[in-house]
Structures are given as structure tokens and as C-alpha cells.
Amino acid sequence: MGEAKLANAIALGQTLKLKNLAVGDGNGNLPMPVRTQKALVREVRRAGLNQLTIDPANASQIIVEQVLPEDVGGWWIREIGIFDEAGDLCAVANCPPSYKPLMAEGSGRTQVVRIVLIVASTAAIELKIDPSVILATRKYVDDQDILVRAYSDAQLAKHLASLDPHPLLAKVAYVDQQDASARAYGDQQLGKHQAALDPHPLLAKIAYVDQQDRNVTADAAQRLAGHMAALDPHPLLAKIAYVDQQDKNVTANAEQRLAGHMAALDPHPLLAKVAYVDQQNTSARAYGDQQDAKHLAALDPHPQYSMKEVQALPKADASKKLASAGFVQQELGNLAGIADFPVSRALSAADFGKAYYFSNGSVTATLPRPDSLASGQIIGRQVKFFGFNKIAGTITPAANAFLRCDSANVATMVVKAGQSLSLVAVTADTWQVIDSTAEMWRNADFADYFNNTAPTQPQRDSSKKIATTEFVRRAQGSMTGYTRVEADRSLTAEDAGSVLLLGNATSVLTLPPPLSLGIPINIGVCVRVHCTGPQSGRLVPAKDAFLMAPDETTSITIKKGQSLTLMATTDQVWRVIDSTAELSRNAAFTGVLAGSGHKCLPDDFIMQWQTVDVPVATTGIATKNFSFPIAFKEFVFGCTATVLGIGAAPNSNAFVAAMPSSINGGVAQNNYVNSNVSVFIISIGK
């Protein structure tokens, strides 16, 4: 799809806007990208691109980059995909598996994911990002910093080179001139002020103020004296005698009116009499009893409040309005009851809305079709089971019903002690698990752990994370134990990873094919064999098995103090990967132990020996040329010869008169005193 979109963009003169980059874990495997692929195998994160640039070293390559912050992770990265603004996968790639940790796991890091795209036209590619949410790599920030610094330096240089870099600022001379002018004007005004006879004509003089104060005081004293001398200085205030007289008049009038009120036969004609009230009360009670009887006898005494007419209230409504049955069901958070489930039986309509615990470990709760219970009115109702007192129980659907966990139908589910399971009737024939701690392996987040698999931690990891068997085998530096082999026997699966001690008695250890022991191919399972003596031990392959050391062999003898390590490399092969037994199998110790033979030692040291028969000399000294059993590779240190045989005289001797002219199979010239003898020659070199 990416190729087609890019070709279309080039043809139309448009741009392909790349927006997001996603990473995936390949569902646990390293996937191979496919041209027709439209999505990652299993995507774990998608976010915007951080940068899209043309490779400075190759104009036809585009570098796409995304920063993964330290607060995301907990998954492996095995595949990468690039998406455009329409959400279409435009490029896909795999990468070496890399685990992105989270801080909660004990470590964290910021990781950069980078893809290099080879395109027909880099001008047709455009980056579509939201700068407010995209992280920047350190290189991006450094590059931008370099650009800003270069721009700032150029601007500063122009500024410093200008004759007048601040034309809008006032010059010092102008400011000084204005200051001098202002000071002169201020001094002139101050001189005028100080020279005036009355510089503040609007201010009142002290003498005038004192005179006005004396006038006001004298006037106030005169008016107070007149007030105090008057017979009635407050003519508008009522006198005490007048107030007392008015009080007496009011009191007399009130007493007269009260006496008339008390003497009247019916002082309160508008108030109901006791008898009238009692009569009305009796009448009201009778009417009420009559209406109550009618109310109780009615089939629907409140037709205006029928269930189908009650207003549907919003969730969590806390008013005093009438609640419908649906509202009550909606708000109900408590279970209708709790009881034990002592015997196997099918659920009934009365069970729903309750919680059950198993009181017998062999009990099975059978789920009938929801539409067979209460005329199918239990759709949406739930029942809960929980394990208690170390007793488990089984949930299973009837023959014509289904039990579904997530989207898969299951035959049974077991609720163990401490676990729980909630079921809801969702269709006419199906029960759905909506909340469960039972059989947690069915939960996608726990599937790997309950199937005894987990991500393998990095080598030499020393945290408290779960260790897989792969991690243990890879990190294991010690053997798991040792066993003595006292008699002939075959290798077993329990021997893997341990040491077998031989030597108390002569014994043969037979090696079956690794596959027959249940050992997976090529996972590095090893067995170490050591001989403690005094007897020797022997390893032999069984039928359909092979012993490689390094070439195929039918047996290996291990003598006192020797050891070797075997590793299962295929379903049939045990390979010796470390050995001090039968060192002649080691290239540095090869040789031929015979009358004419040789022996190699480390550093390419070679010792050779041979016997040469000297013929009968017809005249003079008997001589014979000889060649080395094998060719020396570099040079010969020397040769020595000893006369052997019955015909040797006491003064017989032999020596090498001349060294070989060539080390690769060269011939040495030998001189002998006697003839008809055998000469033993030793040669050393490398």
C-alpha cells in the first residue's frame, strides 16, 4: 500500500504525509515483512513520528525516527510499521528483538526507534506531527541548537558592525542637553517663587485663622447661656405629667373593653365550637374509612403510578421521585443473598442475584439455557460463585447451553478456594463470564505465566523478575548435582546437567539418542563425566545414537583423572565439547604410535621415529638415504641415529651426514660404519 500511495503522490505532484510509527512484539516471534501486509502481527504501541529527514549521505534515503519515553514499555520490539495520516500502513520492517522495560520493573530507558526508507522521490514525503506531544532526540535538539547559535552569531555580528545599532535610542549628548535645559528652567522658577512677597496668596494667614476661632468660641458660649436660661428649652418634647395622664387613660379604656368582652355570651362568634369540631371529626373519620376500604379493594389503586408510566430516572438519581424496577436493578450493587451449594444440580431462576460457595469438592453447578428459566426473564441477571474453606467446585453448561469466557466457549470452569466467578445470562442460550479470578490463564495478561512461559530476562540479570528455564540454563555456571556410576548402565534424562563419577569399577555408560530421553533439539543440554579411578570407564553410543569426538567414534575410554563434557546437539547426536580423555583426538596431540610413527604436541611440535635397514656394502662404507614419516611444516631441529641388530659390532655407529634440503619430505644422507644393520632414527622439529 505504501508503494502505491507514494507512486500516486509523485504522479499527482502531491505529498505522502507520514504521521505515526508503531512497534509490535510479533506475537512472540520475529516476523518477516510482507509487501501486502496491512497491519503489524501484534501492535503494542503507536505514536507520532519525532523526525523525518533526508539522509545527508544518500539523497534517495529518508530517515524516520521515534523516541520511546521511559514511562512506556513492558514488551518486546520485533517489528516496526510506519503509518500515514489516513492510518494506512505505508512501510513495515522487523528488527533484532529488544525488550523495552518499565521503571516499575526495576529499570527504564529512553529508546530511539529508527528506520531508513529508500524512496523514488524524497520530495513526495512529508512529516505530519503534533509538536506539543512529540519528544525530541538529543541529536535533533543539538542540531536545532547549532542552527539557532549560528543565526544568533550572524545577527550579533551585524549588530556589532553597524555604526548606529540602536537608531531609536536617545544619544547621551541629547539627553545631557535636555537635562541641562530642564535644570535651568527649574532654577529660574524657584528664583521667582522665592523672590515673591506672598508666594502662596491662596493660603489663610495664621492671624486670620486665630481671629475666626475666637469669634466662633464667643458665639457658641452666648448661645449656650441663652439655652440654659430658657424656661422650656425643648418645647417640642412631651412632659412627664402628660405622658402619665395618657397612660392612665389607655389603661382605663382597656379594662373597660376587657370587662365587656368577658361578659359577652359569645365573645368569639367566628370560632368553631367544640361540639362542632367533634362532629366534623367523626364525619371525616367515617369518610376516610370508606375511602380506605375502596382503595384497598381496588386492583390498581394508583393507576397514575403504573410501572410503565413511571419516569425513567438518570443513573445515580438521589431525589424523592418514584423509582422504576429497571432503576432499582440498575442501582442494585448488593447481592440478594448468600448460601452454600452442597450437591450437584442445575440452577433455577431463584438462584440469580445470589452468591454461592461450594461445600463439597465434588459438586458441579449446571447452567441451563437462560430462556428456559422464568420465561427468559433472567437475561441480564447474574449469579456469583466463590471458593471457600479450601473447597473447589465446577461450573458447566447444559447440553443445549453455552458457557463463554471472553469470546470463546468453554466446557467447564473450576472455582478453587479463594477464587470467584460471576455469570450473566446474555442471550437465550449463553452465559457470559463477566468477572473472574478462576482459571486466570484464560486472561490474556496472564496466559503466558499460567502456561509456564514468560519473557527470558537479559543475560546476567540479577533482579527479582521471573526466570525462565532458558535463562537458568544460559546463566547456570554450576552442575545440578552428581551421581556415581557403579555398574554398566544407560544415560537417563535425570543425568542431564549433572556430573557422573566413574572409576570405582570398570563400567560402560551407554548413550541413548537425546530425543528418546525427551531432550529438545539444540537447547544445550550437557552431561559431564569424570573418572575418579582406579578403574577406567567407557562411553559407547546406543543404537540410533552417535558419539562425535569430534568425528564419529564407537567408544571413548576415560582413565583416572580424566573428564569430558557431552552436549546433545541433535535428536541423535551427543557431541564431546570439552575433554581430557583420549587427547589423541585433539588436533594438537595427533600421532601414529607404530614402528615408524610420529607424535604432535601443542605449538606444532613434532617428534618422529623410524627404523632404516642398511644394505650390505659392496665396497667402502654402507650408506642409505631416508624420508621422514610425515613432513615437517617449518623446520627440523635435528636427528639422531642408533645402530640396532645382531650384525652390529662393538664399534658400530651411525650418524646423519647431511640434513634434508627441504623440510617437506626432504631426504637425509646417512653414513654408517657397518653394513647389514638396522638403524633407529629419531627426528624432532615443527
Per-residue pLDDT at 307 exceeds 50: no
Question: Is residue 408 a part of any domain in this protein?
Answer: yes
Q: What is the pLDDT of residue 133?
A: 46
Statement to judge: residues 68 and 121 lie in one domain: yes
Per-residue pLDDT at 550 exceeds 70: yes
Phi and psi (nearest 5°) for 35?
-60, -30
Last residue of a domain, one of 550, 585, 620: 585
Q: How many CB atoms lie within 10 A of CB 682?
A: 13
- Rounded distance between C-alpha atoms, residue 19 and residue 257, angstroms: 100
| Single-letter amino acid code for the residue at 291 | Q
Question: Is residue 328 a part of any domain in this protein?
Answer: no
Statement to judge: residues 429 and 498 lie in one domain: no
Q: What does the block give as the cell for 219?
A: 458665639
Question: Is residue 454 a part of any domain in this protein?
Answer: no
For residue 16, what pLDDT band results from cuts at 50, 70 and 90? confident
Least confident of 139-148, 155-164, 219-228: 139-148
- Rounded distance between C-alpha atoms, residue 333 and residue 592, angstroms: 90
Question: Is residue 459 a part of any domain in this protein?
Answer: no
Sign of CA dihedral 225, 229, 233, 235: negative
Q: What does the block give as the cell for 361?
A: 469438592
Higher per-residue pLDDT: 617 or 177: 177
Q: What is the pLDDT of residue 651?
A: 46
Statement to judge: residues 606 and 574 lie in one domain: no
Q: What does the block give as the cell for 60?
A: 534517495
Statement to judge: residues 100 and 20 lie in one domain: yes
Phi and psi (nearest 5°) for 501?
-100, 120
Q: What does the block give as the cell for 61?
A: 534515503
Can you tell me the mean pLDDT for 661-681?
Answer: 61
Question: Is residue 74 a part of any domain in this protein?
Answer: yes
Last residue of a domain, one of 98, 130, 146: 146
- Rounded distance between C-alpha atoms, residue 99 and residue 264, angstroms: 107
Q: 466457549: which residue's cell?
A: 409
CB burial of residue 551 (10 Å; 0-12, 13-18, 19+): exposed
Q: 514468560: which residue's cell?
A: 454
Least confident of 190-199, 374-383, 629-638, 663-672: 663-672
**CATH number (domain holding residue 399):** 2.60.120
pLDDT digits (tens, 9 = 90+) for 566-602: 999 899 999 999 999 988 888 888 888 888 899 989 8
Contacts of 214 (CB under 8 A, 6+ apart): none
Question: Is residue 642 a part of any domain in this protein?
Answer: yes
Q: What is the pLDDT of residue 141?
A: 62
Statement to judge: residues 537 and 556 lie in one domain: yes
Q: What does the block give as the cell for 508?
A: 560402560
Asked if residues 582 and 557 have their Cβ atoms less than 8 Å apart, the reply is yes
Statement to judge: residues 549 and 509 lie in one domain: yes
**CATH number (domain holding residue 672):** 2.60.40.3940
Question: Is residue 557 a part of any domain in this protein?
Answer: yes
- Rounded distance between C-alpha atoms, residue 357 and residue 417, angstroms: 9
Number of structural domains found in the chain: 4
The 3-state DSSP class for residue 600 equals: strand
Statement to judge: residues 568 and 619 lie in one domain: no
- Rounded distance between C-alpha atoms, residue 76 and residue 413, angstroms: 32
Question: Is residue 282 a part of any domain in this protein?
Answer: no
- Rounded distance between C-alpha atoms, residue 64 and residue 486, angstroms: 66
Q: How many CB atoms lie within 10 A of CB 417?
A: 14
Statement to judge: residues 536 and 654 lie in one domain: no
Statement to judge: residues 346 and 436 lie in one domain: yes
Q: What is the pLDDT of residue 96?
A: 93
Last residue of a domain, one of 532, 554, 585: 585
Statement to judge: residues 624 and 673 lie in one domain: yes
Q: What is the pLDDT of residue 243?
A: 57
| Single-letter amino acid code for the residue at 106 | G
Q: Which domain holds residue 66?
A: 2-146
Statement to judge: residues 497 and 623 lie in one domain: no
Statement to judge: residues 653 and 610 lie in one domain: yes
